[in-house]
Structure 1
Amino acid sequence: MLSFSVNTIAQDSSQAIAIYKQAPKKQVVTFLLPLYLDSAFDAAGAYRFGKQFPRYFLPGLEFYEGVQLAIDSLNKEKVELDVHIIDTRSRRKIAEILQDPAVQEASLLVGHITNNEIRPVADFANKKQVPFINVNIPNDGGVTNNPYMVILNSTLSTHAEGIYKYLDKNRGQSPVIVFTRNGTQEDRLKGYLTDVEKSNPKAGLKLKYVTLPASFKAENLLPYFDSTKTTFAVAGSLDVQFARKLASELAILNKTYPMQVMGMPTWDGIRDFENDEYKDLPILYTIPFNPIRTDSLSSSIINYFKDKLFARPSDMVFRGYEVMYRFGKMIAEQAPNVALGLGEKKHQVFTDFDIQPVLLNKQQQQLDYFENKKVYVVRLLNGMVTTVN
């Protein structure tokens, strides 16, 4: 386990306990991150992979780098915290990790986790009555009746709501066609869109669904477009291969039939869309974290990575920074009442988080968890990314 206070780096577990006992007034923030240290180093401490760096190391490590940078910022502001990092890819199982003193004494838990880890960590947080911030998994893992869990990476139902409301507001007189395919996942997405449509009876938007054959071509799409007006084409599937195929065929039609293409959150990071094949095709999709890096803090982080690490920071670096900074400030100011202030729009960094209570069963009026309801609609055109909402 890596463990450090705001002023101390890389201490072992026993030292972490001593630090906490010496400064009991400090709030404890514990991160559960997949760092793979046991896989990366042998018993003698030698790195196992030579000059190679496995890609599966990156998300946890990059998030950790962002956390470190935020700790530097909090130090400069003299924010008093004890921060601990636990490697969830060590030899210990999650049940054993939850017994670690750094977890047991935490005032705030932050997890970059897997689907199978959501439930045990959330149950632990609920029992201990400490907030648990799920920073990466966009679903609830079956968790209910837990006012201490926060989902930052918005769920599919929230994206569906954001997509519907954006289309209703911005389509004008344009028709909106949802191109989908047969599949359980696609049925679930359609169900979410239908629920949003039903809950907005005053909205003028009525979605039309077209189920495409497995090997569809541009001619299968052609009947739904008009050369005299713009059509919104919505991808009714999360599948990335479907995304590439649909956008590729639409790009052919776009030369004659004006359109805008609304994709899914899974379209973020599809680099193919920057190729000449998709030239002049307006692509929209939703993401829960602000992708724009033009502010002064973003520029300073980019310059730090460029000058010190000869690299460019990934989105996970910025996520690590804003989670550590925002929630670190909140826990330092509001503990032990931070759970009551999770929805406050304080200490926002890059993303304008909109953390709202979620009630899965409206009749029971039971608070099941909190979720970030902010989704950004991103427009990608000829390699340029902008936000349009």
Structure 2
Amino acid sequence: MGIVRLITKDSNMRKAILVLVFALALQSSFKSFAQADSQKVHHVAIFIPLYLDSAFDASNTYRFEKSVPHYFAAGLDFYQGVTFALDSLEKNGQKIEVSVFDTKSEKGNIVKTVQDPEFSNVDMIIGAVSGTEYLQLASVAKQKTIPFISATYPNDGGVTGNPYLVIVNSKLNTHIQAVFNYTLKNLGTNKIVLFRRKNSQDDRISDAIKSYNSSGSGTLLNIQTVILEDNFTSKDIKGSLDSVRQNVIICGSLDENFGRNLCLQSAELGPGYQLSIIGMPTWENIRELAKPELKGIPIIYSTTLYSPEQDPLNQQFVKSFFKLTYTRPSDMAFRGFEVTYVFSRLLQKYDSSILSNLNDKSFRLLTDYEFKPIYWSKGSSTPDYYENKRVYMVKRINGMTLRVN
């Protein structure tokens, strides 16, 4: 499948047209992107939340005119990254078949999809999924004894005993450990405040930080914890900061709205407060971090995807993506591109032995991966799953994104 060229320069309109293009591309559940020949052609099933059913009414009319709802963005960007990867594979003469399923549509229903006789030919699953959909695909992969590459979900979902599950976006505790280690090494003498909400999800983050902060001789860092209400303002933040010292604000919540508001309210404090803000792995999807009012504040967060702006491949991808959509690619677009390309090539090279060769760097593009087998049962010879342990810390400041570990 080549890249569809659109002629309008209105970015919202172009994205709306892309929704139509995706809908047409997904009319057939199984879509071949390469012609089979005498060599084995591997079949990859990719599951993405595209919300196509909600995008069209009963008469197949697009509901949103020239706009694209915010909740469409991540899935559409991941899908576009997938198409760029397939285009690259095709140009390099690589033979592969790919089926793309919209997990939010009736046709993409996972339970029904895996019952399709053609699904028996699938050699690998890639998913930009979470929650129930993630658990369903992990179960399918185990039953079929094929790899499930979980591209975006930073969680194992309680899955054990499944050596076919590959977690690309490292688990939350792995990210938190990277955040803590960076803070300890680089910002340990500053005023450190952890802002969070009062709920069980934020308890988990707070407890993990406390665990990493404990040592035989006491705590390693002096971290103050402050609980904020959902409608907090800059005044609620200001009282916990020091106007004569460098302050480090740690976001103790995965909730993107909370993190977004924490950044914007912190910016309202003005130059009287020296700030560094440390966020969570979900921040790679928060576009508001590029707002002018945040430009001069160091914003640091963890990610398993690193695409250096000076890298020629990064620049080419940005150029091609902008030419198609008149927007810059998000991290989800990069992730869709990189995961699809790298793991498709590994599948082609190793076939059923791919899980023993996840760290082969022959097809590395931008990001280094470090997959390790995870064993929850002592003495077990079978991994519960594989997790990528390579976490990057990146800093956004003055319009640039820099790697800092």
Same fold (TM over 0.5): yes
C-alpha contact (below 8 Å) 1:130/1:148 kept by paired residues: yes
Query: Retained in 1: the 8 A contact 2:30–2:98?
Result: no
Residue 108 of structure 1: how far off its partner (Å)? 1.0
Which residue number corresponds to residue 177 of structure 1?
Answer: 193
| Cα pair distance change 1:240/1:339, threshold 3 Å | closer
Cα distance between partner residues in 1 of 2:143 and 2:163: 11
Name the CA shift for 1:81/1:284 in 2 (closer, same or farther; >3 Å): same
State the match for 2:221 in structure 1: 206
- Which of 238, 242, 266 is matched with 1:225 structurally? 242
- Corresponding letter in the other structure for 1:345: K
Residues 334/38 of structure 1: CA separation in 2 closer, same or farther (3 Å cut): same
- 5+ long unaligned stretches in structure 2: 1-24
Q: CA deviation at 1:328?
A: 0.9
Q: Aligned residue for 1:5?
A: none
1:78 is aligned to: 93
TM-score, with structure 2 as normaliser: 0.79
Shift of 1:191: 1.8
User: How far does residue 168 in structure 1 lie from its aligned partner after superposition?
Assistant: 1.9
Partners of 1:182 and 1:10 lie apart in 2 by: 42
> Within 1, Cα distance between the matches of 2:247 and 2:234?
18
1:138 to 1:98, Cα distance in 2 relative to 1, 3 A: same
Give the alignment partner of residue 79 of structure 2, picking from 64, 72, 84: 64
Aligned to 1:6: none
Partner SS for 1:49: coil
Which one of the candidate residues 253, 267, 292 is aligned to 1:237? Answer: 253
The structure-2 alpha-carbon separation of the partners of 1:13 and 1:159, relative to structure 1 and needing over 3 Å to count, comes to closer
Contact 1:182–1:211 (8 Å) recurs in 2: no
Displacement, 1:28? 1.7
Residue in structure 2 matching 1:141, options 132, 154, 157 = 157
Is contact 1:168–1:204 with CA below 8 Å preserved after alignment?
no
Aligned partners of 1:283, 1:347: CA distance in 2, in Å? 31
- Does the CA contact (< 8 Å) of 1:218 and 1:252 recur in 2? no
Q: In the alignment, what sits opposite 2:47?
A: 32
Task: Kindly provide the amino acid, as one letter, of the partner of residue 225 in structure 1.
Answer: D
Q: Does 1:298 align with 2:314?
A: yes
Cα distance, 1:230 vs. partner? 3.0
> Hey, what does 2:66 align to over in structure 1?
52
1:165 aligns with 2:210: no
Question: Which residue identity is paired with 2:164?
Answer: Y
- CA RMSD, aligned part only? 3.5
What is aligned with 2:390? 374
Aligned partners of 1:31 and 1:124: how far apart in 2? 13
Confirm or deny that 1:328 pairs with 2:344: yes
Q: Cα distance 1:388–1:212, how it changes in 2: closer, same or farther (>3 A)?
A: same
Which has the larger displacement, 320-329 or 169-178? Answer: 169-178
Q: Does 1:349 align with 2:337?
A: no
* Residues 131 and 149 in structure 1, CA contact (< 8 A), matched pair in contact too: yes
- How many residue pairs get matched? 376
Amino acid across the alignment from 1:196: Y
**What's the CA shift string for 1:327-386, capped at 9, x where partnerless?**
111001001100111233341212222222233456868622122222222222244332
